[in-house]
Amino acid sequence: MDLEALKKSSALHPKPPGLALQYGTAGFRARAQQLDHIMFRMGLLAVLRSRAVASTIGIMVTASHNPEEDNGVKLVDPLGEMLHPSWEEYATQLANAEDEELQSVITEICQKAAVNQHKDASVFIGRDTRPSSEELSQSVVDGVSVLGGQYHDYGLVTTPQLHYLVCCQNTQGQYGKATLEGYYEKLSKAFTELMKQAPSSGEHQRHLKVDCANGIGALKLSEMEPYFPKEVLIHLYNDGTKEKLNHLCGADFVKVNQKAPRGLDLKPNERCCSFDGDADRIVYYYEDTSGHFHLIDGDKIATLMSIFLKDLLAKVGQSSALAVVQTAYANGSSTRYLQETLKVPVHCVKTGVKHLHHKAQEFDVGVYFEANGHGTVLFSKAAETKIRQLAKEEKDAEKREAAKVLGNMIDLINQTVGDAVSDMLVIEAILALKGLSVQQWDAIYTDLPNRLLKVQVADRRAIGTADAERRAVSPAGLQERIDALVRQQRLARAFVRPSGTEDVVRVYAEADTQEAADALAHEVALAVYHLAGGKGAPPQP
């Protein structure tokens, strides 16, 4: 390590006094002007991580669905997964070190993580379309370079594309070619093969309106358009040419506000979907003939994929292979449908993509989605090998065809992370193959009315949870109070959990009517306020 060079370079990216940030599930997020030193230091950390695991590491400059003024950074581990939890701690430690402590913290991390400073290091860098992203990714480059790391700057990419590129690189091309063309070709080839099997193939064009949140999704979808079969017409809205990123549009806006984004005109019964700012989340929606808005969120996406996969897996004699992973926020109707009607095992884990991904890896075929539209499907090596073998060698025609469709699904799904582009193509293929309209998909089950609330508290650590955040273990008496309130309503459920980022407690309630769900959420919020140190005025109904 060239200490003089490190000192000089670090002085160009000074840490603002008194600023402390935490690396969480979404990496670092803050106002863009607070992040220069963070980017430089994450460049340093990526080099250390690359040397520790002898693989290429990714760095994505994005703040996803946050406002345009914010930015952030996430590291991507060798197989395209999220950064290992022990390294999240190193990231926080390195980010918050004073300038003069930088060298000693690097040395400490190298000792703890057995990093050989003389090994080669390789880092892939990507960024979203925020005005601040280009300059901030240059700070990443400075960090990588000063520790002697090699880098490839892919420039403007979606977050899932960077995850894909890192995985391709570290599997020596087994997962695909580590180029954007490789990504477009792999996905479009699988999608085209699937669309050939669709009953009405070639007869009519399938139209889909896509709200791109004024973000990177628009750029990449238009690059990909020449690869699509001509039966599919994708119309892009909020493409970033006129409005601000994520402003009154995008998957998060649509999910939270239960209404269409600005800049997209809804016609009755038209299929529409929204990406978020870095294109790793997707939700669908439509307006019925009476002007009523219908949201199709991550729970319903997971259900559609599960129905389709279960049917195919049964045809190839692997019907027990499938499981679904949800969080406590999944609508009770979706859980009931999956377990009771579809007879698929459902597992509940703590909120956060990394928990879902980790659990889904335990199954031959693991489907996971958060209600916000972030999710994917994971196939075990054994399941994939078996499916590919059946597609080649199976004598029984029906079984062989089902295996071929599954093989194309495996290629179309981005298994590294939730990917709005990939998920959109998977959904479009399933709807075409099953001959389902968006209304028929929506009607698979009816969501229970629900309500989300936030309660300000003095210290969020007052709330302790267990059973995948479905039960409160502290403060004393809170869970008993919630249980008593839930018993007063039909089909009711409620839970509370501390926010990961601010001193608020999140309350979720569902029941058989919207009035009952609202009343239950309010009563639970009051219980939190009184028992867990509420701040300010008590929650109002």
Span 228-264, pLDDT tens digits: 988 889 999 999 999 999 999 999 999 988 899 999 9
Q: Which two tokens stand for residue 114?
A: 């057995």
In a domain, 161, yes or no: no
Bridge partners of residue 464, in order along the sequence: 474
Same domain as 143, residue 7? yes
**268 lies in the same domain as 359:** no
Residue 289: CB atoms within 10 A of its CB come to: 8
What's the distance, CA 494 to chain centroid?
A: 24
Pairing of strands 282-287, 272-275: antiparallel
User: Contact at 8 Å (CB) between 272 and 210?
Assistant: yes
Residue range 107-125, pLDDT digits in tens = 999 999 999 999 999 999 9
325 and 285 in one domain?
Answer: no
Is 424 a member of any domain?
Answer: no
147 in a structural domain: yes
Q: Print the domain residue range for 345.
A: 298-416
d(C-alpha 483, C-alpha 495), whole Å: 9
**Is 467 in the same domain as 513?**
yes
Q: Which residues pair with 451 in a beta bridge?
A: 509
**Active-site option among 50, 64, 274, 422:** 64
Whether residues 28 and 60 share a domain: the answer is yes
- Sheet with 28-31, strands from edge to edge, namely 28-31, 70-76, 56-61, 122-127, 150-156
Is 506 annotated as contributing to ligand binding?
A: yes
The reply, when asked if residue 498 is annotated as ligand binding, is yes
Q: Does 450 count as an annotated binding residue? A: no
Kindly give the residue spans of alpha helices, DSSP state H, lying in 316-417.
Answer: 332-336, 353-360, 381-393, 397-412
CATH number at residue 139: 3.40.120.10
Residue 64 annotated among the catalytic residues of the structure: yes
User: Is 501 flagged in the annotation as binding?
Assistant: yes
- In the block, tokens 């669709």 appear at 198
Q: Verify that 290 and 303 share a domain, yes or no.
A: no
Bridge-partner residues for 365, per DSSP?
322, 379
Q: Are residues 85 and 129 in the same domain?
A: yes
DSSP characters for 452-467?
A: EEEEEBS-GGG-EEET
Determine, yes or no, domain membership for 172: no
| CATH code, 389 | 3.40.120
32 marked ligand binding residue: no
Residues 402 and 483 in one domain: no
The residues with which 378 forms a beta bridge, in sequence order, are 366
Question: Residues 322, 358: one domain?
Answer: yes
Is 9 annotated as belonging to a binding site?
Answer: no
277 and 409: one domain?
A: no
pLDDT string in tens for the chain (541-residue length): 788 999 999 999 999 998 999 998 889 999 999 999 999 999 999 999 999 999 999 999 999 999 999 999 999 999 999 999 999 999 999 999 999 999 999 999 999 999 999 999 999 999 999 999 999 999 999 999 999 999 999 999 999 999 999 999 999 999 999 999 999 999 999 999 999 998 865 446 689 999 999 999 999 999 999 999 888 899 999 999 999 999 999 999 999 888 999 999 999 999 999 999 999 999 999 999 999 999 999 999 999 999 999 999 999 998 888 999 999 999 999 999 999 999 999 999 999 898 999 999 999 999 999 999 999 999 999 999 999 999 999 999 999 999 999 999 999 999 999 999 999 999 999 999 999 999 999 999 999 999 999 999 999 999 999 999 999 999 999 999 999 999 999 999 999 999 876 789 999 999 999 999 999 999 999 999 999 999 999 999 8
280 is in an annotated binding site: yes
User: What strands lie across the sheet with 272-275, from one edge to the other?
Assistant: 232-237, 206-211, 272-275, 282-287, 293-296
User: DSSP E strands: which ranges in 15-121?
Assistant: 28-31, 56-61, 70-76
Distance CA 326, CA 344 (A): 12
Distance, in Å, from the CA atom of 333 to the CA atom of 512, rounded to the nearest integer, reads 10
pTM value is 0.95
